[in-house]
Amino acid sequence: MISIQNVNKWYGDFQVLTDCSTEVTKGEVVVVCGPSGSGKSTLIKCVNALEAFQKGDIVVDGTSIAAKGTNLPKLRSRVGMVFQHFELFPHLTIVENLTIAQIKVLGRSKEEATAKGLKLLDRVGLAAHAHKHPGQLSGGQQQRVAIARALAMDPVVMLFDEPTSALDPEMVNEVLDVMVQLANEGMTMMCVTHEMGFARKVADRVIFMDRGQIVEDCAKDEFFGDINARSERAQQFLNKIL
Ligand code: ADP
Ligand code: MG
C-alpha cells in the first residue's frame, strides 16, 4: 500500500532524510518512533506529498509521487492525515468540519456528506456534539473529530503524527481507543507515536528513526523482545521511554 524507496530529502544543505526505504502492506499497522528531530514528521509528510523529496520515490496504492504528471491533490485526498494539533476549522461546526472536504474535493452532495459525517461522529462517540464549534470540545474530543474528518474521505491509508502528544494525559486513551479500533478493522496505518502501549497492542511493525535514517524496521515482537539485540541508539531511546 505504501512503498518508500530510497528517499532522500534536504532542507538547503541539511540532509533531513537519508536513504529511507520501507514497505507498508494493506492492513498493516506500522509505528514510527525515534528521538525528536530524527525526521519522523518529515518522512510521514512525504508520504502524502505535503513535503517534497529530492531523490527516491514513494508509491501509494500504485501511484508514484515522484512520477511526472501524478495528480498530487488527488493522491492527498486518499491519504488521511492526523496531526499533533488537530487543525480543525475553528469557525465551522463539527459536522461542517467533517463535510467541507467531502463536498469541495470529492464533489459529494451536502446531504450525502452530512450523512457520512454524522455516521463517523457516532463512530468516534461524538454524535451529540455535531453542531458545536471545535473550541467547545476538549482536546481529546477534537482529536477524535480530526480522525473522523480524515476517515470521511474514504482514505486507503491513515497517517498519524504524534496524535496524542499535545493532549492532557487523561485524554490520551480516548484517542488511542479510536486508533486501536481502526487498526482492528483493517485500516492500513503509519503512526508516529511514542505510545509504546499502543505499539505493543496493535502494531505489526516498529520503525526506529535516528538522524534521518531508518535504523530499525522489524516485527513488533522482535522490537520489544530482546532489547539488547537492538541497535545502540534504539536501546538508548527505549531505555528512556519504556
Ligand atoms: P521529528 O518529527 O522526528 O521530530 P522532523 O521531521 O520534524 O523530526 O525534523 C527533522 C529535522 O529537520 C530537524 O532537525 C528539524 O529541525 C529539521 N526541519 C524540519 N522542518 C524543517 C524546515 N521546514 N526547514 C528546515 N529544517 C527543518
Ligand atoms: Mg515530529
pLDDT, tens digit (0-9, with 9 covering 90-100), for 55-80: 999 999 999 999 999 999 999 999 99
Under a CB-based contact definition with an 8 Å cutoff, are residues 15 and 8 in contact? yes
pLDDT of residue 111: 98
Among candidates 58, 16, 22, which has minimal Cα distance to 40? 16
Which residue do the cell numbers 528517499 mark? 7
pLDDT of residue 198: 95
Which residue do the cell numbers 519522523 mark? 40
The bound ligand whose nearest atom lies closest to the alpha carbon of 16 is 1
Index of the ligand 1 atom closest to the CA of residue 161: 2
Interstrand relation of 188-192 and 79-82 (parallel, antiparallel or unpaired): unpaired
Index of the ligand 1 atom closest to the CA of residue 12: 25
Q: What is the mean pLDDT of residues 10-32?
A: 97
E strands present in 120-172: 157-161
Q: For 187-211, how does the pLDDT look when each residue is reduced to its tens digit (9 = 90+)?
A: 999 999 999 999 999 999 999 999 9
Average pLDDT, the chain: 96
Q: Is the CB of 41 inside a 6 Å radius of any atom of ligand 1? A: yes
Ligand 1 atom 12: the closest Cα is on which residue? 16
Q: For 27-45, how does the pLDDT look when each residue is reduced to its tens digit (9 = 90+)?
A: 999 999 999 999 999 999 9
Q: Which of 16, 47, 81 for mutating ligand 1's site (highest number of atoms within 8 Å of CB)?
A: 16
Q: Is the CB of 12 inside a 6 Å radius of any atom of ligand 1? A: no
Which residue do the cell numbers 492532557 mark? 168
| Residue 143 pLDDT > 90 | yes
Q: How confident is the model at residue 229 (pLDDT cuts 50, 70, 90)?
A: confident
Q: Which of 40, 42, 51 for mutating ligand 1's site (highest number of atoms within 8 Å of CB)?
A: 42
Alpha-carbon distance of 231 to 236, in angstroms, equals: 9
User: What whole-number percentage of the chain has pLDDT above 90?
Assistant: 93
Given the cut 0.85, state whether the ipTM is greater than it.
yes
Q: What is the mean pLDDT of residues 102-122?
A: 97
Ligand 1 atom 23: the closest Cα is on which residue? 11
Q: How far is the CA of 17 from the centre of ligand 1 (A)?
A: 10
User: What whole-number percentage of the chain has pLDDT above 70?
Assistant: 100
Backbone φ, ψ for residue 5 (5° rounding) = -120, 100
Contacts of 74 (CB under 8 A, 6+ apart): none
Q: How far is the CA of 170 from the centre of ligand 1 (A)?
A: 29
| Residue 227 pLDDT > 90 | no
Q: How confident is the model at residue 86 (pLDDT cuts 50, 70, 90)?
A: confident
